[in-house]
Amino acid sequence: MMRASHLRLFLETVRFEHTIFALPFAYLGMLLAANWPRSPGSTMMLPTLAQVFWITIAMVAARTIGFAINRYADRVYDARNPRTAGRPIPSGRLSAKATLAYAGIALIVLVIAAWQLNELTLLLLPGALILLVGYSYTKRFTWLSHWVLGATDGLAPAGAWVAVRAHIDPPAWLLWLAITLWIAGFDLIYACQDTAFDRAEGLYSVPARFGNRIALLLAQINHISMWGLLVALGLLMKFSWMYWAGLATVGALLVYEHLLVSPDDLSRINVAFFNVNGYIALIMCFATWMALWIG
């Protein structure tokens, strides 16, 4: 039987608290789906409590699977990297077998959640699982791995949209692309910590292939493009000023995030990666909620 200490170590392994990055955008997709198509001044519609519950369960389960497989896949590299050697699996505090067991439990939960939502959600699940499992191995053969990770996380709002409407509409595609670029952008920043290690191990990443300066430039381009896609989303949804105020704040935070790091100074990368991006997710979700509420 799995001990409570194992569960605590597993939650540490998958960084459960960082669900904050993706869950607000899943709720964003859910809210937008419930209010599409939309006319200015229309009353905000809400998804059912059952949809909120099962979307939350599906989101947490999917993220748990992705992170668990990532830690399992990278366990050998993590053990050789001084930055990650203290993680539960490479340090020997949690076995790879236990990690896979918990991932298996999360998979069962995810299948049940998709089944409870609608038929299309369940039919699309195998494709989502390919990305959830496969992205962890892309660093073995392509420096496009950052965008594969982004596309995987972009499934959160797109999947929530499908869970509510049982089909995909233009705003869902905009959300998917926006989150893909947002996640890829800050993953490019984060990967700058391991440039030398990735080169030594023969792993593929933009910093390892092109250097930190190019990686940070591409991160800026990704985030500018992400912001532009959110502008298009706001226009398509005919949002009120609350959305635009939130989007302006997000733009300021993105600028701040990029001012925190430079090719020669990565000392504040954790602030840029964890704190700022957590605020971005929460602000966009809140601003969209308010824009829908006040019409």
pLDDT in tens, 59-84: 989 988 998 999 999 999 999 999 99
Q: Is residue 197 part of a domain?
A: yes
Condensed to tens digits (0 to 9), the pLDDT of residues 133-186 reads 999 999 999 999 999 999 999 999 999 999 999 999 999 999 999 999 999 999
Q: 183, 225 in Cβ contact below 8 A?
A: no
Residue type, 108: I
Condensed to tens digits (0 to 9), the pLDDT of residues 275-292 reads 888 899 999 999 999 999
Count the domains in the chain: 1
Q: Is residue 2 part of a domain?
A: no
Q: Is residue 1 part of a domain?
A: no
Q: Where are the beta strands (DSSP E) in the chain?
A: none
Condensed to tens digits (0 to 9), the pLDDT of residues 18-56 reads 566 678 889 999 999 999 998 877 889 999 999 999 999
Domain membership of residue 29 as a residue range: 7-294
HEC sequence for 10-77: HHHHCCHHHHHHCHHHHHHHHHHHHCCCCCCCCCCCCCCHHHHHHHHHHHHHHHHHHHHHHHHHCHHH
Identify the band that residue 16 occupies on the pLDDT scale cut at 50, 70 and 90: low
Q: Is the pLDDT of residue 1 over 60?
A: no
Q: Is residue 265 part of a domain?
A: yes
The alpha carbon dihedral of 200, 202, 206, 211 has a sign of positive
Q: Is the pLDDT of residue 252 over 90?
A: yes
Q: Is residue 237 part of a domain?
A: yes
Beta bridge partners, 262, equal 265
Percent of the chain with pLDDT over 70: 93
Q: Is residue 279 part of a domain?
A: yes
Output the domain CATH number for residue 181.
1.10.357.140
Q: Is residue 220 part of a domain?
A: yes
